[in-house]
């Protein structure tokens, strides 16, 4: 693979990313105000998403999904939070398009809950 080839490799057209964002050095152990601000941002980004107690799952093109997570960092930095850490679980697959709801539903089906 020549060096020139790298820039021609695209990022995945679709991915599912679950992220948990943590503001550091905020003096308060509560982060719900910041998480609410991030939710308001995500609501406006136009991507499919769902919030749960351990993070937020977003679906969409790789670049767009990671842009939104980066914008969430910037949003909180602008509020004066100088350090932010996110844990992101991101998956891509080429065999089929599977939404995050499909994944849960498939497991529930196997469990005979549906």
Residue ranges binding its own copies (CB under 8 A): 1, 3, 6, 9-12, 15-16, 18, 20, 22-33, 35-36, 39-41, 44-45, 50-55, 57, 62-63, 66-67, 69-71, 73-75, 77, 82-95, 100-101, 103-104, 106-107, 110-111
Q: How far is the CB of 48 from its own copies (least distance, A)?
A: 11
> Three-state SS for 110?
helix
Residue with tokens 């943590």: 22
CA 61/CA 41 separation, integer angstroms: 17
CA 39/CA 72 separation, integer angstroms: 9
CA 86/CA 2 separation, integer angstroms: 33
Query: Tokens at residue 45, please?
Result: 């980004």
CA 18/CA 34 separation, integer angstroms: 17
Q: How far is the CB of 2 from its own copies (least distance, A)?
A: 8
Q: How far is the CB of 79 from its own copies (least distance, A)?
A: 11
Q: How far is the CB of 12 from its own copies (least distance, A)?
A: 5
């Amino acid at each position: 693979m020549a060096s020139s080839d790298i820039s021609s490799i695209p990022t995945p057209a679709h991915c599912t990313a679950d992220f948990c964002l943590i503001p550091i050095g905020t003096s308060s152990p509560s982060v719900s105000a910041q998480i609410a601000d991030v939710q308001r941002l995500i609501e406006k980004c136009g991507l499919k998403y769902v919030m749960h107690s351990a993070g937020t799952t977003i679906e969409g093109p790789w670049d767009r999904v990671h842009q939104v997570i980066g914008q969430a960092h910037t949003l909180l930095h602008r509020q004066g939070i100088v350090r932010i850490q996110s844990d992101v679980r991101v998956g891509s697959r080429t065999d089929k398009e599977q939404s995050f709801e499909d994944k849960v539903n498939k497991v529930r089906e196997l469990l005979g809950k549906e």
